[in-house]
């Protein structure tokens, strides 16, 4: 995909098994739903940017989860010179570090700056020294190397890229706009059906009511704009279309 001078690649860094009743009412799905864990690779304007980084050494947090970000980047022949984190969930931030234990973790991409949501970064830095949560461990590792910086909503980390606050899912949760034609909505939705049924996507939201309002507002806007849409747990690009008073996800070619 091309957008505003960027070549945009949606990479499946891993797969995530989800209980069917976690993403839809009982009976909608007949068994485990296997969702991709996507990262976004952007190449252009003399830079290579990686948005989110999969689970890395925290792959065991979720039984059955897989992770092969290193293999996907190698297959693309890509080495990022800027890392952008949309929020600190383990399947987005874990791959920023590598190692087997908290006292052995080290940056996966030595010398490469990581931009992270300022609010969430401050929260992770304020955690107790013995906090074993993923955000605290990731931030401590990156801070020790002097690699992480905070950003606020509206930040533009590179030409044509704009980070936009999308509250409700997690503290600091942000989406990425690439020019006027493409938007990575990250975890605003976790399945195509959540566009049609906005109220179904509540299991993992820190503030479900705020997340629901964000979902409706941003997806409604994208329907009007006709933008190409990417998401962290949907396998292919899509567009948001209006159907009567509602919305739906329509897949498009990569």
pLDDT in tens, 26-53: 999 999 999 999 999 999 999 999 999 9
Mean pLDDT, residues 127-141: 87
Is 191 domain-assigned?
no
**Domain tally for the chain?**
1
Confidence of residue 253 (pLDDT cuts 50, 70, 90): confident
- Name the one residue in this structure whose structure tokens are 């044509």: 160
Is 63 domain-assigned?
yes
Confidence of residue 148 (pLDDT cuts 50, 70, 90): very high
What does the mean pLDDT of the chain come to? 95
- Name the one residue in this structure whose structure tokens are 């020019």: 179
Is 193 domain-assigned?
no
> Facing residues of 51 across strands?
40, 84
pLDDT one-digit tens code per residue, 56-74: 999 999 999 999 999 999 9
Q: Which ranges constitute the DSSP H helices of 84-192?
A: 90-93, 118-125, 134-144
CA distance 254 to 246: 25
Q: What pLDDT sits at residue 136?
A: 94
Tell me, what CATH number does 168's domain have? 3.60.15.10
Beta strands in 122-173 (DSSP E): 148-151, 161-165
Confidence of residue 254 (pLDDT cuts 50, 70, 90): low
Residue 222 token pair? 């994208």
Is 200 domain-assigned?
no
Q: What pLDDT sits at residue 142?
A: 97
Nearest Cα residue to 12 out of 35, 36, 34, 33 = 36
CA distance 3 to 79: 20
Percent of the chain with pLDDT over 70: 98
Is 109 domain-assigned?
yes
Domain span at residue 91 reads: 2-186+226-235
Q: How does strand 114-117 pair with strand 106-107?
A: unpaired
Sheet of 6-18, strands arranged across: 2-3, 6-18, 33-44, 47-51, 82-84, 114-117, 148-151
pLDDT one-digit tens code per residue, 207-218: 999 999 999 999
Q: Where on the phi/psi map is residue 129: left (φ > 0), alpha (ψ -120 to 50), or beta?
A: alpha
CB neighbours of residue 145 within 10 Å: 14
Q: What pLDDT sits at residue 113?
A: 98
Residue 91 token pair? 């399947």
Is 62 domain-assigned?
yes
Is 158 domain-assigned?
yes
* Greater pLDDT, 101 or 86: 86
Is 205 domain-assigned?
no
In this structure, are residues 27 and 81 in contact, taking their beta carbons and an 8 Å threshold?
A: no
């Amino acid at each position: 995909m091309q957008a505003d001078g960027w070549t945009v690649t949606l990479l499946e860094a891993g797969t995530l098994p989800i209980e069917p009743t976690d993403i839809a009412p009982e009976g909608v799905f007949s068994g485990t739903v296997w969702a991709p864990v996507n990262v976004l690779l952007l190449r252009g304007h003399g830079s290579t940017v990686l948005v989110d980084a999969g689970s890395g050494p925290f792959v065991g947090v979720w039984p059955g989860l897989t992770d092969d970000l290193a293999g996907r980047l190698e297959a693309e022949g890509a080495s990022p010179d800027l890392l952008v984190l949309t929020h600190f969930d383990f399947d987005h931030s874990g791959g920023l570090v590598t190692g087997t234990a908290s006292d052995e973790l080290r940056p996966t991409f030595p010398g490469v700056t990581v931009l992270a949501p300022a609010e969430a970064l401050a929260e992770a830095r304020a955690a107790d020294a013995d906090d074993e949560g993923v955000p605290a461990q990731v931030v401590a590792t990156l801070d020790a190397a002097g690699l992480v910086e905070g950003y606020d909503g509206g930040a533009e980390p590179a030409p044509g890229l704009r980070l936009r606050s999308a509250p409700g899912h997690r503290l600091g949760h942000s989406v990425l706009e690439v020019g006027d034609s493409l938007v990575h909505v990250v975890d605003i939705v976790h399945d195509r059906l959540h566009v049609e049924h906005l109220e179904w996507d509540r299991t993992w939201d820190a503030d479900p009511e705020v997340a629901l309002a964000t979902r409706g507002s941003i997806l409604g806007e994208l329907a009007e704009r006709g933008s190409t849409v990417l998401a962290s747990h949907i396998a292919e690009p899509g567009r948001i279309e209006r159907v009567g008073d509602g919305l739906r996800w329509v897949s498009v070619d990569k």
